[in-house]
Amino acid sequence: MKRFPEYYTIWNIAGHYGLRIFALLVLIFLMLPILVIMPLSFNSEPFFTFTEGMLALDAEAYSLRWYQEVVDDDKWRLAIRNSFVVGIAAALIATVLGTLAAVGLASPWMPYKRFITALLLSPMIVPLIIIAAGMFFFYTRFNLVGTFAGLIIAHAALGVPFVIITVTATLSGFDRSLFVAGLSLGAGPFKVFWDVVIPLIRPGVISGGLFAFVTSFDEVVLVLFLAGPEQRTIPRQMFSGLREQINPTILAVATLLVVLSAALLFTLEALRRRSVRLSGSA
């Protein structure tokens, strides 16, 4: 039994445990949906619910058939390939342009800093449906609707704010005199950028790139408006699956995505710790 201070009344103690129980329940609420879909994806029946056999832990009731279907289905294979192609291309564009811009924005001489920062971060604030409608109107003129180029440009724009935020955060711990020192020793600004700045802010750049990749990988509204059948991505395929014929193939894909996001989460956490260690502050 935990010892409480003497001035604690019975109500204080009840509150102490009440808070713990409530916090636990909220954590269960957060995790339960994700935990439930994992076993359901091994269902041997085409249902979205636990069969009696599954509850009795009967081995017959579990199978890998939905995973097999994902691997065998051309549509899913295309969607998986598209998601990675678009995600990686969009993340590369966003990371390269975003990192350069973050370095410029961090300079104390940057003109119109507030306005430009707000402009560059705005894709994060505007609702996706508005971006999707606007892009549909505008990209049609350049024949970009229904092409990979259009989708990659659109997703890169969405990823930019995340790169700016993460790289700016790393740069705040960056000693500007290093940049000036490089210049004073005769290197051009871009050489200093490449040889001095980039190695020091690398953790921020990589996590910004990962954020941009995840943003694209998870995005479906722009895909709905801008992509043709050839550019279907995983979320797009899940979206139509949920609207048309719900079957556990979607749960199998969902489980794979949870595993992927867990891997990304741990990568980002490792990067964050590395960044904290390098900058020597919390």
> Where in 177-196 is the site for other proteins (CB under 8 A)?
189, 193
For the CB of residue 174, give the shortest distance to other proteins in the complex, in Å.
Answer: 14
Torsion sign (Cα): 235, 238, 240, 243: negative
- CA atoms of 114 and 39, how far apart (whole Å): 49
Q: Does 213 bind other proteins (CB under 8 A)?
A: no
Contact residues for 203 (Cβ-Cβ < 8 A; gap 6+): 170, 271, 272, 274, 275, 278
CB of residue 71 vs other proteins: minimum separation in angstroms? Answer: 19
Interacting residue with other proteins among 243, 244, 280, 281 (CB under 8 A): 243
- By CB under 8 A, residue 134 contacts other proteins: yes
203 binds other proteins (CB under 8 A): no
Q: Which is nearer to other proteins, 38 or 85 (CB)?
A: 38
SS (H, E, C) 140-159: HHCCCCCCHHHHHHHHHHHH
Measure Cα distances from 50 to 23, 54, 61, 98 in Å: 27, 6, 9, 46
- SS3 (DSSP) at 127: coil
Q: Which of 202, 258, 274, 278 binds other proteins (CB under 8 A)?
A: 258
Q: Does 5 bind other proteins (CB under 8 A)?
A: yes
Q: What are phi and psi of 4, to 5 degrees?
A: -105, 155
Among 89, 91, 120, 145, binds other proteins (CB under 8 A): 120
Question: DSSP state, 43?
Answer: B
Rg (CA), the chain: 24
Contact between 48 and other proteins by CB under 8 A: the answer reads yes
The reply on whether position 50 binds other proteins by CB under 8 A is yes
The values of phi and psi at residue 146, to 5°, are 80, 15
61 near other proteins, rule: CB under 8 A: no
Asked whether position 115 contacts other proteins by CB under 8 A, the answer is: no
Instruction: For residue 77, state whether it binds other proteins (rule: CB under 8 A).
Output: no
**Subset of residues 147 to 166 that bind other proteins, contact rule: CB under 8 A:** 153-154, 156-157, 160, 162, 165-166
